[in-house]
Each structure stands twice: as structure tokens, then as C-alpha cells.
Amino acid sequence: MTESHFLTHVFQTKDFSSEELATIIPQFKRTTFSKNDYLLKGGQIENYYWFIENGFVRSYVVDTEGNDITTNLCASGDIVIDWTSFFLRSPTREHIQALTDCVCWQLDFDTFQQLFHSIQSFREQGRTTLVNSYFSLKKQSVSMIADQAKERYAKLIKEKPHIIQNISLKHIATYLGITDTSLSRIRKEISDE
């Protein structure tokens, strides 16, 4: 396994033995998506998770009025998955779509289960990733209620500047729970400060 393989940055040698890496990394399949391709559509069961090597992906749901509302924005190094659908084997309500051409590394459900139950360090990393994902979702939910839109935007700039630079304002606005017009006003206010 070459040191330069993208997944060696995901599964670091400080956490995994070289034997474990030699077992884990070949299980992933390199997959490419073109801009606007779907990794997952509403109503399907999530059978894979992907690490994004490069590109941008969003998750979204369609609200009661037919508008698509962005629920997550992902970039290089992020995991893209609907955890609930993946683990409960239930149809998803979310869509996951490539916003740019993407290179991803895919692992299927059955292989994930086999690695999870046979390699303790893989299991521990999986648990940590799931917990961090939950915390991130919880923070986002609370922020939508407790923070002003300007604060949510400022936090996104600070935590994910690459998202701001590469994702359309329309998707960023729905992710922040505001209109395009409000986002334009907030951006102007921040640039004038």
C-alpha cells in the first residue's frame, strides 16, 4: 500500500497497524461521479458510504412546498452517508447529489459490517465518526433555532471556508435556513465591516 493513497489520510498509521491497513484499504472501490449525479435518491436504502477524495456533495430533502432544502455540505476528506438508512436498512428521505465532478472511495454495507466486527480499530474509528456526526448535526439543529442567520453564516465561513468558495449561494442559503436575498444582505454586511 503506497503512502500516497488517499485513504492513508483517513486511516492513519497511528491508529491502524500496517496489516489492518492492508486489509481495510483494498476493500474500498474508487468511484467517480459527474456534476449533478446522485449518490443516493430519496426512497432508496443507503448501501454505501463514501469518503470524498475531491469534489463537493450536498444532501437535501424536499419540503412540503416542493423546495429542496440542503441538509449537509461535504468536501474532500468528508464522509458522505445517510447513517440512519445505512444502519437501519430503511428507505431514506434525503437525496445526496454531487455538486461538482467527484472522486470518492466507496465501501458497501456488508463489507463495512465484516470490517466493523473483525477489526477493533476500524470499529473504534467508526464509532467516533458516528458520534462526531451526531454532535455536528445536533449543533446545526440548535444553531438553526438559537443563532441569528448572520452568526450561522460567520460560523460556516470560519469552519468551512472552502464550502463558501465553491458551493452556490442558493444551496448555502437553504443550508443556513434563509433566503438567497437574506444571504446576499448578510454577505454585504460582513464585507462592509
Beta bridge partners of 68: 62
Superfamily of domain 7-144: Jelly Rolls (2.60.120.10)
Res 42: pLDDT = 95
Give residue 164's region: left, alpha or beta (phi > 0; psi -120 to 50). alpha
What is the pLDDT averaged over residues 90-118? 96
Res 53: pLDDT = 96
Res 137: pLDDT = 87
Beta bridge partners of 138: none
Predicted TM-score (pTM) of this structure: 0.88
8 A C-beta contact, residue 159 and residue 172: no
**What is the pLDDT confidence band of residue 190, given thresholds at 50, 70 and 90?**
confident
Whether residue 74 has pLDDT greater than 90: yes
What is the pLDDT averaged over residues 51-62? 96
β-strands 102-108, 95-98 pairing? unpaired
